[in-house]
Amino acid sequence: MEYPIAMRYYLGIDGGGTQTTAWLADERRQVIARAQAGPSNPTKVGMANAQAEIQHAVNGCLRLAPSARKSLAAVCAGIAGVDRPRIHDPLLRWLQEYLPAAHYHVTTDAAIALEAAFGETPGILVIAGTGSIAYGRNTKGATLRCGGWGSLFDDAGSGYDLGRKAITAALWDFDGRGQRTRLRSLICTALRLKTITGVVEPAPRPHEIAALLPVVLGAARRGDSVARKLCDDAGRELAALVLALHQRLVASGAKLPVVCAGGVFHSSLRVRRSFAAHLRGEIPQSRVMLLRRQPVEGALTIAHRLDQKRETREP
């Protein structure tokens, strides 16, 4: 008597500084469940909170397809901040204990976004969301990163960086050190402050600062010169990430396509134009595109590939 072979399922997870997305797909690569949760970058929210949000997103998928829990072939989690062994290793162990699967792969959110953008072909991805990073692959298959060193020392051009600089500009306006800007009153409204000096104590958390991005972009669209300069500077700083990485990845004269991802790029035409202008000022006729796929789709592709590679090694 022949028995039907159990369906194999694949789980992709995309965890960043703003939200966590989980998608569940079957062996035909059809997505059968989607769920979202809060931020899961361990460097920003802590390991326990990151695990809780990942679990929330994954459980949301498994509630929609409960039979998948016992038939997971592979799990790929792309989580911001996990390129540090002290974060990667405990997160992988926790995932293995929490979620039974045949194969696991824990990598960065930049790696799964690169997969979503280019597959296994060469190219450079630049992400500007809560944080920022550039990640690329050359024609020899070598991968390198640039930036993404965290909100304390880096994340240039990110939503956090724009929010932080907007608060600084508002405080300087209050002091009389800087230009007058609508950002001062707009930030007070967004954070429910009586006066901008109330932003200092208690200070907003990183994801709350990044959440000021729409305030900055709205002020720029309404002609605020300070907000416009912040957007233009963000484009220049994000282009600098790509230019530095491009120089390290390719020989002189060669060009790699560039894909932009993250809320800053998708929300602001001004940032995109500034970015493209500065990039093409150094690398004329560069191909620049917005990421059209979800990064979590890259995680699903990696999970499926991992399972297929393991299958081909079996005798």
Each residue's pLDDT, cut to its tens digit, for the chain (315 residues) gives: 343 446 899 999 999 988 999 999 998 999 999 999 999 999 888 999 999 999 999 999 999 999 898 899 999 999 998 988 999 999 999 999 999 999 999 999 999 999 999 999 999 999 999 899 999 999 999 999 999 998 889 999 999 999 999 999 999 999 999 999 999 999 999 999 999 999 998 999 888 999 999 999 999 999 999 999 999 999 999 999 999 999 999 877 789 999 999 999 999 999 999 999 999 999 998 999 999 999 999 999 999 998 887 544 433
CB hemisphere CA count around 173 (13 angstroms): 22
The shares of helix, strand and coil residues in the chain, as percent rounded to the nearest 5, are 50, 20, 30
Q: What are phi and psi of 311, to 5 degrees?
A: -65, -40
pLDDT at residue number 207: 82
pLDDT at residue number 7: 82
Q: What are phi and psi of 258, to 5 degrees?
A: -125, 130
Contact yes or no for 41/15 (Cβ under 8 A): yes
Closest CA to 111 of 139, 138, 76: 76
Residues 6 or more apart in contact with residue 290 via CB below 8 angstroms: 259, 260, 261, 265, 266, 272
Contact yes or no for 36/19 (Cβ under 8 A): yes
pLDDT at residue number 315: 34
Q: Alpha helices of the chain — where are they, by DSSP H?
A: 42-45, 47-64, 85-98, 109-118, 159-175, 183-191, 206-210, 213-221, 225-249, 263-267, 269-282, 295-313
Strands, sheet with 72-79, edge to edge from the N-terminal-most edge strand: 31-37, 20-26, 9-15, 72-79, 103-107
Q: What distance in Å separates the CA atoms of residue 188 and residue 258, rounded to the nearest whole number? A: 37
Q: What are phi and psi of 224, to 5 degrees?
A: -65, 120
Q: What distance in Å separates the CA atoms of residue 103 and residue 69, rounded to the nearest whole number? A: 13
Q: From the CA atom positions of the chain, what is the Rg in Å?
A: 21
Q: What distance in Å separates the CA atoms of residue 260 and residue 248, rounded to the nearest whole number? A: 19
Strands, sheet with 123-128, edge to edge from the N-terminal-most edge strand: 143-146, 132-137, 123-128, 258-261, 288-290
Pair of tokens at residue 129: 């969301």
Residues 6 or more apart in contact with residue 160 via CB below 8 angstroms: 17, 130, 131, 151, 206, 209, 210
